Structure 1
Amino acid sequence: MTGGFGSLFFGPGPAVRRPNGISRPVPPYEQRFVGFCLPVFRNVPDLTSCSAVELARRIRAREVSAVEVLEAHLDRIERQNPAVNAVVTLDAERARARANAADAALARDEVWGPLHGVPFTVKDQFSTAGLRTTYALPHYADFVPAADAPQVACLKEAGGVLMGKTNLPLAAYDWQCDHPNFGRANNPWALDCTPGGSSGGSAAALAAGLTPLELGADVAGSIRIPSHFCGVAGLRPTEDGPLRGIRPPDRPATVRHIAVAGPMARTVEDLQLEWAALCGADPAASAPATPSPDALRIAVTPELGGVPADTDTQRVLRDATTAWGAAGCEVKRRPAPFDVEDAFDTWARIQGFELTAGLPAPLRTPPLKQLVWQGYVRSKFGSLAGRMAKGASLGPRGYFRALDRRAALADGLDAFFDDWDLWVTPVAATPTFTHRPTGAARTLEGVSVPYALPIAPYNCPTAVLGHPILTLPAGRTPTGRPIGLQVHARHGADATLLAAGRRLEAVLGCDPAPASLAEAPRTDDSA
């Protein structure tokens, strides 16, 4: 979840409709023929199955053109997006112009950057110059920003080709992905299941092979949960200041803490490439050496917040840690390195205070403020609303005390990393679940539990400390639903975390190939 509740109280949004921009004219026959048949003629993998690193290399080597790569992805979007509803706005013509310019630049021996000619999409929460950005708010259904969000600008400056925007839930605040304008996104691995939220369209687009790179945002698992549910990799980076570019320009950015923007991809190597672009760095010069297994000390905590993970998640965690141990890592089970309940309450106090500050004036004072938190929000997120309501009732001194407590918790976690390189936990207590109304009960090992219980204790307390967290694809359920793990590291050690994560990923050997929707397993499970 990323964003605020303020937009939810301005009235209902428009009826569900097919988004403008998703339809496009059929490309010329020659482009379609080349884009579809090129892999056969050149005896190489389908371009939409290639990693971003491979695409960037092949474009620079002129083995394939940026136009060919773009057309392959646009063709896949046209054929497979209707099933997943991940891409909600296309910018095909400007993307074609950009790809042509990238090829022309290479012909002059000009390389724009590490993403030269590589297509990407971004969550429809990030401002994109000249391209519709709804910020997940119905009142901005046709809003076109004048400038890019800083993160989008970085990806473009690195040579990337923006293709379009991806789906997200209302107000970017849910662990599912159902938007009043765009409709519901589906999980490519199990279409009757959610891809997660709020960066659900981002993860679904990656898993379906519609894009090689994505940009998401996270305040309570919005990168981590979709990555886990869809079997892709995501980085919740070190928090380093207020997140800009995810709010309409006429609204104050009251969410000043915890929310971060981060890269999403199918492999950790691709995350490294995108992270370098977001940082404005040369990936070859800035990436630390990939640690060998025997250099990694890994602490593992199988359960957070008193909520045990289900059998499949426990099995995947056990198999992963066994494999890492066999590869030479020092792996030991340890309790959580901070008071999870304290961190959870600290997260809720900060979020509750900042979200309330963004509400319309009548909703910031009693009695309507109580109706917001104890009525609407409680109906969606259960006891989580009660925690956040305590933050909504804070005065400035209480809010600053919460920030002080957060700093103390973060210092404690950094002290833990004096003895350990990485800390591994589940991302959630379960893999993806079947679509349902927000707030509806779920099942955990056959027991009915509140909607937020399998997710919130694993994502909210870990977010408030501001440390980098990598979501690593680690395994699957017997029915094919992905399961990921959270890998945590020291504050500011994002590049080192990605380098270590790449080594852990190699040991696990998970297949990064996108889902084949014709073969996507379905489940009648209601978990």
Structure 2
Amino acid sequence: MRDLPFQSAADQLSALASGEISSAELLEVYLSRIGAHNERLNAIVTLDVERARREAGNADAKRASGAELGPLHGLPITVKDSYETAGLRTVCGRPDLKDYVPDRDAEAVRRLRAAGAVIIGKTNMPAGNQDVQADNPVFGPTLNPWNTARTSGGSAGGGAVATAAGLTAFDFGSEIGGSTRIPSHFNGLYGHKATWRSIPLIGHVPGAPGVGRWGESDLACAGAQVREARDLVPLLLATVGPPERDGGFSYTLAPPRANKLGDFRVAVWTEDALCPIDHDVEAAVDDALTALETAGAKVRRQPADLPVSMATSHDVFLRLLFGAFTYDRSGLTAASNAALLARAAQRFRTEARYALRGTFQSHYSWLQADVARHEIRERWVEFFREFDVVLMPVTPTTAPPHHNKPIDRFGRRIQVNGRSRPYWDQVKWSAVANVAGSPATTVPVRTARDGLPVGLQVMGPSGGDLTTIKFAELLGQELEGYQPPPTFA
């Protein structure tokens, strides 16, 4: 029982199916751990205990009746606080939404419940999804269970910490520039960004609440953070597919391109002057390459025919990103605007300039970036005729210290091999997949010299979610994989 909360969701589903444990019992295991550890970590910000207990009991009764069950039946999970949940507050880290209680579930939440998932509560995040640390004026920061002086990552940092520390079976999240993969890397998890538009974001904030719930923010995707890569398969089965308003359109994930590590064709992209990585991430790359070469995989380092340079891809990303962010202007205060203008004036080529330009760009300017995005996507289609996956860093370093000035987003720095680098280097490697619209899955590789987890990410062709997940599963089996944080094990 002590190991149960750290087991994979797949093993827990098997235990539920065999009768080894009931959904009600498994829920109480997690509620006990939440009671013991969540106050310190600040990962789960809203609980739905009464409803979760009722639904767990109903799940057990339905199983006993012999009825047909969904792929997540009876499994206690959490969801990121950016998804609307009927009768349960949805804050999204925003002071203006601190008392907002939706009257209906987001579409993805509705599908999770229909698949049998029992939702324990909501996990912490930055205000409006717009940071790489989970900290906001309503709930404060989430702490990394490996070292509470370090950030959890963001935006889905609360969900990553809850999953890593054994407070939930998995967390269902979202991202627009690495928000599931970065926290997964920082906390030692498998994290997945689904293919763009494969899971509807109706009822996700932003655009929800109100009439905005029917829109879907550009670039944004659903995702999840799990302890074993195979856990991602049933949750994708539960949530992938078009919204009802698309009528007869259907979407089916492609099967894995290979089922043995040695059968994969792997491009390895780990060096780029725009975003250098530190020695610990380089060591993780070396470990992965050794495993791939031992397995007999076809590996090519730094292919000369990459479809796009990071500089070009990231330029398009920032233009689209800040265009998407303009929908939510709740964080545009006098203080944040002053900080943005000051940073933009200090240096010409910085994210602050992109933020300023992107916020007020014309529709024609956005269309130019959109056309460039789709051209890049076409280039990746051609590239993935020769390769099955691309192995890349997630961020340049392990989890950095908390940044305690959320308003000054563009004055922050991180240290990479002792050199000061822009704080927003943390999204550059992840953003490649966001521009491409491709699925990407993180793999926990090793423990760094500072005692923190180090991961890598694998990106695949659009619709190839099962390919990146299978590759991550097989590679993770040869490496360190998920390990419970010692202080919370």
Residue equivalent to 1:211: 168
* Alignment partner, residue 512 of structure 1: 482
The 1-side partners of 2:349 and 2:211 are apart by: 28
Give the whole-Å Cα distance in 2 for the aligned partners of 1:305 and 1:345.
15
Match of 1:374 in 2: 341
1:433 pairs with 2:400: yes
Q: Deviations over 1:461-481 (max 9, x none)?
A: 431121111111111102320
Identify the range of structure 1 (414-423 vs 169-178) with the bigger mean alpha-carbon deviation. Answer: 169-178
Instruction: Label 1:409 to 1:280 Cα distance change in 2 as closer, same or farther (>3 A).
Output: closer
Mapped partners of 1:389, 1:426: distance in 2: 28
C-alpha contact (below 8 Å) 1:112/1:157 kept by paired residues: no
Q: Supply the distance in 1 between the matched residues of 2:32 and 2:68 (Cα, whole angstroms).
A: 26
Q: Cα distance 1:407–1:289, how it changes in 2: closer, same or farther (>3 A)? A: closer
Equivalent residue, structure 1, for 2:308 = 338
Give distance in 1, aligned partners of 2:122 and 2:272.
Answer: 34
Q: Deviations over 1:348-397 (max 9, x none)?
A: 1122233235448xx89xx9998685348889x99112123333343222
Percent identical: 35
Q: Secondary structure at the match of 2:288?
A: helix
Match of 2:375 among 408, 411, 416: 408
Counterpart residue identity of residue 450, structure 2? T
Hey, what's the Cα distance between the residues in 1 that align with 2:301 and 2:21? 47
- In the TM superposition, 1:76-475 aligns within 5 A as 76-240=33-197, 243-247=201-205, 248-250=208-210, 252=212, 256-279=217-240, 288=256, 291-304=259-272, 306-335=274-303, 336-359=306-329, 373-375=340-342, 383-437=350-404, 438=406, 439-453=411-425, 455-475=426-446
- The alpha-carbon deviation at position 109 of structure 1 amounts to 1.4
Which amino acid is the alignment partner of residue 407 of structure 1?
H
1:173 partner amino acid = Q
Q: Secondary structure at the match of 1:418?
A: helix
Separation in structure 2 between the aligned mates of residue 87 and residue 296 of structure 1, nearest angstrom: 38
Cα displacement (A) at 1:505: 1.7
Q: Partner amino acid for 1:244?
A: I
* Partner of residue 249, structure 2: none
Deviation, 1:276, is: 1.7
Q: Which of 451, 454, 458 does residue 483 from structure 1 map onto?
A: 454
CA–CA distance in 2 between the matches of 1:404 and 1:434?
38
**Alpha-carbon distance in structure 2 between the residues aligned to 1:311 and 1:417:** 29
SS of structure 2 residue aligned to 1:246: coil
Q: Amino acid of the residue matched to residue 424 of structure 2?
A: A
Provide the rounded CA distance (Å) in 1 between the counterparts of 2:349 and 2:153.
18
Residues 293 and 327, structure 1, Cα contact 8 Å, conserved in 2: yes
Against the structure 1 CA distance between its residues 488 and 374, is the aligned structure 2 distance closer, same or farther, given a 3 Å change threshold? Answer: same
1:255–1:355 CA contact under 8 A, matched in 2: no
- Is the 1:86–1:202 Cα contact (8 Å) retained in structure 2? yes
Give the Cα separation in 2 of the matches to 1:168 and 1:133.
11
For 1:463 and 1:405, the matched residues in 2 are separated by: 13
Secondary structure of 1:485's aligned partner? strand
Q: 65-74 or 285-294, which moves further after superposition?
A: 285-294
Equivalent pair of 1:341/1:461 in contact (CA under 8 Å): no
Post-superposition offset of 1:290? 5.7
* Deviation at residue 449 of structure 1 after TM alignment: 2.3
Structure 2 CA distance, aligned partners of 1:511 and 1:355? 34
Measured in 2, the distance between the counterparts of 1:171 and 1:488 equals: 26
Q: In structure 2, how many angstroms separate the alpha carbons of the residues matched to 1:98 and 1:503?
A: 34
SS at match of 1:192: strand
Aligned alpha-carbon RMSD (Å): 2.8
Displacement, 1:460? 2.7
In the alignment, the residues of structure 1 paired with residue 107 and residue 51 of structure 2 have an alpha-carbon distance, to the nearest angstrom, of 19
1:249 Cα deviation (Å)? 2.1
For the 8 Å contact 2:128–2:328, the answer to whether it is kept is no
Letter in 1 for 2:453: P
TM-score when scaled to structure 2?
A: 0.89
Matched, 1:498 2:459: no
Query: Which secondary structure state, in structure 1, belongs to the residue aligned with residue 144 of structure 2?
Result: coil
TM-score (norm 1): 0.83
1:291 is matched by which residue type in structure 2?
Answer: N
Q: Secondary structure at the match of 1:307?
A: coil
Q: Comparing 197-206 with 215-224, which one deviates more in the overlay?
A: 215-224
Length, aligned pairs only: 467
Deviations 1:72-123 (A, max 9, x none): 0000000011221101111111101111111111111124311111100011
Secondary structure of the equivalent of 2:372?
Answer: helix
Distance in 1 between residues matched to 2:458 and 2:312, nearest whole Å? 21
CA displacement at 1:334 relative to structure 2? 1.9
User: For 1:405-443, what per-residue CA distance to the aligned partner results, in whole angstroms no more than 9, with x for missing partners?
Assistant: 100011111111111111011001101011123443221
Deviation at 1:288, TM superposition (A): 4.6
Residue 263 of structure 1 aligns with an amino acid whose one-letter code is A
